[in-house]
Chain A
Amino acid sequence: MPLSPSTLLQLHTDIRQTRVSDEGIILRQEDGEILVVNEVAIRFVELIDGNRNLDELTDILLQEYKVDRSTLADDLAEYASELISHNVLSITAS
């Protein structure tokens, strides 16, 4: 399913995440796979609650990081695709 600004995302139930300093650690419990991600990516994951779409997530992060909207939106779409491919996120609605 392609990503769009209205795409709703949610974390898989076996995902656990935390921050260590300026990076994040994501554990996929199912198989013990661990990902280390940068500050923006972990913040993005922290904000995913199954209710906010990509556009709303972009709005929140825009207030926290000095970056232009289109760059951030592209980056988040890329993060989301990557995390979907790692079975961290799934799309609930598009």
Chain B
Amino acid sequence: MSSFADKMRQTWDENILFSALLELTYSCNLDCSFCYNEKDLQGRTLSRSQYLELFRELRAMGVFNLILSGGEPLAHKDFFLLGAEARKLGFVIRIKSNGHALHAATAKRLKEEVDPFSIEISLHGACADTHDRQTRVPGSFDRLIKNLFILKDLGLRFQLNSVLTRWNENEIAAMYALAEKFAVPLKFDSQVTPKDNGDSSPLELSPSEKGLRELLRHQHDFARQMQSEATEQPPQTRSYCGAGTSTIAIDPVGNVFPCVQWRQAIGNVHDQRMQQIWQNSTALNSIRDKNIEARTNMLNQGSKAALGAFCPGVAKLISGDATAIYPSVHLRSKLHEDILNNTDI
């Protein structure tokens, strides 16, 4: 019998659509300074009936994970209706939220009507000054902490996600301690990305080398405690990642992308059925080729390159080439190597 990892490799290698991320809306109740969403996105938003039809089609295609994202997905007027329908269809529902709206009544409703498998909640700092500076909404940190206690009490499964920035890089240990208080994982993304429209102004908030080193040290220490290897080797697959091979992302106006980060449209659900896009899109086929090329390219760089957390989608945004290794990957690789060789200072 295969393992789950074997099955995931099979989805990548055989282009089996397994996860779909839906950006339901770009509306948000916070105003994060490095938000990557294209707020002035043009086009006709998908209607309730289009979403319901899309859900049925995705489920018929065998999609397992349905990720409801945004903006803030709870800001979509039909969020609960869509969530309940997704549950009825048997999806594993994952929600990416800032947590701001998850007060007691809404959280209870979420559990009863949608029953998500997990909620990924954004944390931007370990204190109100840092978190609120990022969200640009005073009081958002205190409200988030209050809501996290509510989620915990209700038995909703959640994890914390954070982007490492210049503003929170001095609070890494305190943020991990905060996550520990709730007994939930905290996942850092060490790459601040350009906006989806290519605007690179968010990169000004990128963490310093010192901040990156600090994060990597924490992650290595944690891996040591868990007695696991801190190194990440690429999985034995043809493609570098699941973008366009097992995943898709769909924006509020129906544009379909190979993943949330790789913003190269492969079709639009206003014009075509998802099955048609998945099987016949020439743009998607060339993305799959690029994904294979990206893996070959990374393997050619040697084992240390794998430590730099390369993302073809970010590469495409930064340089226009999804296979081109960008500077922060080299930096992270070097820092990892230093830590592994105990030469970091």
Contact = CB atoms under 8 A, between A and B. Distances in A.
B117 interface: yes
B1 A16 contact: no
B2 A36 contact: yes
A29 B92 contact: yes
A20 B16 contact: yes
A32 B117 CA distance: 8
B7 A20 contact: yes
Contacts of B63: 18
B10 interface: yes
Interface in A5-60: 13-14, 16-21, 23, 25, 27, 29, 32, 34, 36-38
A19 B92 CA distance: 13
B18 interface: yes
A7 B90 CA distance: 24
Contacts of A14: 115
Contacts of B18: 18, 20
B64 interface: yes
A79 to B, nearest CB: 13
A34 B18 CA distance: 15
Contact of B92 (A16, A20, A21, A23): A16
The dominant DSSP class at the B interface is loop
Interface string B2-45: 11101100110010101000000000000000000000000000
B240 interface: no
Contacts of A34: 4
B10 A27 contact: no
B90 A36 contact: no
A34 B11 CA distance: 16
B312 to A, nearest CB: 23
Pairs A-B, 4 closest by C-beta atoms: A18-B64, A20-B7, A16-B92, A34-B4
Nearest to A38: B1
B2 A27 contact: no
Nearest to A24: B7
Interface residues of A, number: 17
B91 interface: yes
Contacts of B10: 20-21
Contacts of B62: 18-20
B151 to A, nearest CB: 15
Given A20-B11, A21-B14, A29-B117, A36 B3 contact: yes
A52 to B, nearest CB: 18
Contact of B1 (A18, A19, A21, A23): A23
Contact of B4 (A13, A19, A25, A29): A25
Residue of A18, A34, A37 with most partner-chain B CB within 10 A = A18
A16 B14 contact: no
A49 to B, nearest CB: 12
25 contacts: A16-B64, A16-B90, A16-B117, A17-B90, A18-B62, A18-B63, A18-B64, A20-B7, A20-B11, A21-B10, A23-B7, A25-B4, A25-B64, A27-B64, A27-B92, A27-B117, A29-B92, A29-B117, A32-B117, A32-B157, A36-B1, A36-B4, A36-B7, A37-B1, A38-B1
Interface in B213-246: none
Contact of A21 (B16, B90, B117): B16
Given A13-B115, A32-B157, 18 more contacts: A16-B92, A17-B90, A18-B18, A18-B63, A20-B11, A20-B18, A21-B10, A23-B1, A23-B2, A25-B64, A27-B64, A27-B117, A29-B92, A29-B157, A36-B2, A36-B6, A37-B1, A38-B1
A83 to B, nearest CB: 14
Contacts of B16: 20-21
A12 B62 CA distance: 20
Contacts of B4: 25, 34, 36
Nearest to B16: A20
A37 to B, nearest CB: 8
